[in-house]
Amino acid sequence: MGEHELGAIGGRLADLAAAERAALVREIDASGAFAADPRWREAFATVPRHLFVPYYYVSGVGGYERRWCESSDPRSRQRWLRGAYEDVPLATRLRDGVLLSSSSQPSLMALMLAELRIEDGDRVLEIGAGTGYNAALLSYRLGDADVTTVDLDPEITESARRHLADAGYRPAVVTGDGARGVPERAPFDRIIATCTLASIPSAWLAQCAPGALVLAPLATGLILLTVRDAGHAEGRFLHTPAFFVPLRGADRPEPEPVALAGIPHRARESDLFRFLLTLTRGALDPQEAYALWEREGMPGRERYGITVGPGHAWAWLDAPEGPYAWPLPGSPGSSGPSGSTGSAAPRA
């Protein structure tokens, strides 16, 4: 194929990418994800997602189909490009059939970034570099110098750094355990995690400026915490569900599955009931959780919150000082306020 033909194909793909990106932005806009901060619309309209997913995997019959940008079939390249701008998460790294890294659903990314209410001059730490796309959006908004992204896997950080450079962004990309933060780049005004946590790492609060916001996936939800000081933070869950790859590193075992024998079918199938089970794991058994869930009218995620203090953390329903509070799973020495035992019964 001649140089002219290659150039023509490249031009058609560039036009297609621009059109698909504009369509994605309209879809995100219609979802309401930009509502908390419409300024993110420009970032999503500018940063080319396809440069961050030169290949990805789509599940199908018998396993995963790999789509990539260098396929010799023009129709396959177009399929790759269109898929890169669908409002879905994209699996980008597998090992023995296990998902290790992905590019998150763009509308969920937009919602999370908007809820952080970032201001000019804020210093942001991202936990979970992934493909680098989220760090690019942050760099577009704030500039490279104020953005840090960290990941445990050196292969992931190397590819993220390469994708970012290809797109024209150079934030700090650090290889390390995200639970330990990045102290040499602190203090941070915002921390955003793109991997599911079992608890809130104390190192994050110690690396935050007073009044900083921390947004992280936890218990199939998104907790938004306001940091008071190095040892204290508190906040509520957003209304939306969120499912991310778990934070990896030492001493973070997978939780055991919960037996739901005796729980009515409508509760077993309810995403909100499973959220409550995950949030109260070790404090309430399924029967206690079900009694609470029924009594309180199947509460949505936004009714729950978390309080973090030195050496302990607890989850609560409706208010930190209200009748329901439980030690947060994975938080050693946790105890709720006012001596709460974590019972499903209201406090006296």
The DSSP symbol for 302 reads G
d(CA 281, CA 179): 21
Average pLDDT, the chain: 88
- 101 included as an active-site residue: yes
pLDDT score at 61: 75
For residues 176 and 249, is the Cβ–Cβ distance under 8 A? Answer: no
d(CA 51, CA 247): 25
Query: Residue 208 is inside which H or E element, if any?
Result: strand 208-218
pLDDT score at 50: 97
The DSSP symbol for 245 reads P
pLDDT score at 64: 82
pLDDT per residue over 266-308, tens digit each? 999 999 999 999 999 889 999 999 999 999 999 999 999 999 9
pLDDT per residue over 61-77, tens digit each? 777 889 999 988 999 99
- Which of 305, 310, 332 is CA-nearest to residue 320? 305
Domains and CATH numbers, the chain: 3-237 (3.40.50.150), 265-339 (no CATH)
Amino acid at 20: E
**Spans of the chain, pLDDT less than 50:** 1-9, 250-251, 253, 333-348
d(CA 66, CA 93): 11
pLDDT score at 261: 79
Q: Which of 31, 76, 101, 340 is catalytic?
A: 101
pLDDT score at 282: 85
- Partners of residue 220 on adjacent β-strands: none
For residues 340 and 326, is the Cβ–Cβ distance under 8 A? Answer: yes
- Which of 234, 307, 239 is CA-nearest to residue 272? 239
**What is the CA angle 184-213-109, rounded to 5?**
95
Share of the chain above pLDDT 70, in %: 88
pLDDT per residue over 117-139, tens digit each? 999 999 999 999 999 999 999 99
